[in-house]
């Protein structure tokens, strides 16, 4: 696996002589119910990215651990960047990558709140950086990946700290899963045009879980989900 953190500048230069692809994992520090650690999103994104690095020859950049989780600030331990801050950081990273010769960037995103800042950053900087191409992978939004969760744990209502994410963490960081803290409550997601914010998120989801109680989570489902995510990302890189 080619981790940027373990390569010298000369090794990176040699890599760029024949390849311009790089994987950037992007996470967040936010609540994930009473039973999962606040670093869940960054752990999952990094697990996928490092798995991709092991299977492919593409360089994996260090994980950007902080994201935009303003809606979850009502839960202790959440550490959020402002949307404009996250967009600015992503712009700076893309600018630096482009300067050195990276042109194709796969962002493995672990947190839903990062989506808009990522999009704003890419759209805002694209005209400035000729040849820049960016793909984004969100495992919980990918129908092929999430089918693994449904097939192994049943139909899901929501994907935040539910059976899929709990299974994922059982497989990659089991010590951060504390099932004994679960209350057993569901928090159905009711369609609404109102945007969740720090003022109402905890009222809607008191335990921090969005959707079904993760009673059917399993390490086996998490391992299968991780493998499918890696497979999809490698396919995206190879098709580029």
> In this predicted model, which residue has the larger pLDDT, 182 or 107?
107
What is the tens place of the pLDDT at every residue in 186-214? 788 888 899 989 999 999 899 999 988 88
> In this predicted model, which residue has the larger pLDDT, 213 or 157?
213
What is the tens place of the pLDDT at every residue in 122-148? 999 999 999 999 999 999 999 999 999
DSSP per residue, 74-118: GSTT-BB--HHHHHHHHHHHHHHHHHHT--EEEEEE--GGGHHHH
Instruction: Give the other-Cβ count within 10 Å of 86's Cβ.
Output: 26
Average pLDDT score over the chain: 95
**pTM: predicted TM-score of the whole model, two decimal places:** 0.96
Q: What confidence tier does 98 reach under pLDDT thresholds 50, 70, 90?
A: very high
Rounded to whole angstroms, what are the CA distances from 41 to 6, 37, 175, 199? 23, 9, 15, 22
The answer, yes or no, to whether residue 73 has pLDDT greater than 80, is yes
Q: Is the dihedral of CA 12, 117, 133, 143 positive or negative?
A: positive
State residue 213's pLDDT score. Answer: 85
The CATH class given to the 4-189+196-238 domain equals alpha beta
The residue extents of the domains of the chain are 4-189+196-238
């Amino acid at each position: 696996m080619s981790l940027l953190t373990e390569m010298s500048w000369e090794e990176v230069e040699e890599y760029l002589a024949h390849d311009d692809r790089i994987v950037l994992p992007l996470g967040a520090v936010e609540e994930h119910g009473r039973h999962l650690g606040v670093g869940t999103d960054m752990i999952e994104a990094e697990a996928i990215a490092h798995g991709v690095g092991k299977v492919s020859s593409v360089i994996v950049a260090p994980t950007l651990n902080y994201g935009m989780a303003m809606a979850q600030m009502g839960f202790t331990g959440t550490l959020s960047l402002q949307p404009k801050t996250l967009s600015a950081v992503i712009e700076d990273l893309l600018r630096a990558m482009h300067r050195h010769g990276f042109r194709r960037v796969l962002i493995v995103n672990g947190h839903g709140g990062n989506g808009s800042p990522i999009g704003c950053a890419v759209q805002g900087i694209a005209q400035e950086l000729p040849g820049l191409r960016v793909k984004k992978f969100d495992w919980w939004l990918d129908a092929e990946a999430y089918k693994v969760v449904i097939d192994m744990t049943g139909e899901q209502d929501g994907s935040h700290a539910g059976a899929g994410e709990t299974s994922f963490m059982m497989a990659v960081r089991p010590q951060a899963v504390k099932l004994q803290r679960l209350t057993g409550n569901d928090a159905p997601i009711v369609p609404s045009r109102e945007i969740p914010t720090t003022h109402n998120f905890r009222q809607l989801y008191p335990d921090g879980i969005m959707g079904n109680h993760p009673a059917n989570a399993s390490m086996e489902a998490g391992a299968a989900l991780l493998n499918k995510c890696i497979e999809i990302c490698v396919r995206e890189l190879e098709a580029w």
